[in-house]
Amino acid sequence: MITILINVLSVFVTFLLFYCLKSRIKRYMPDTENPRELSLVKT
């Protein structure tokens, strides 16, 4: 039970880190996104 909990937690942490990294990349490279998000990032 404890090992399953640890596995789930590690997967969640990995996903969270990936999401943060993705949003950070999106902020620095908005050209890959559509113009609507680009205008949101610039403001």
The residues, ordered by sequence, that sit 6+ positions from 37 with a Cβ below 8 Å of its Cβ are 26, 30
pLDDT for 9: 94
Report d(CA 9, CA 21) in Å as an integer.
18
pLDDT tens track for 1-43: 889 999 999 999 999 999 888 877 666 665 555 556 555 555 5
Tokens at residue 42, please? 């610039």
Tokens at residue 35, please? 């113009």
pLDDT for 4: 92
Centroid of chain to Cα 16: 6
Report d(CA 40, CA 33) in Å as an integer.
11
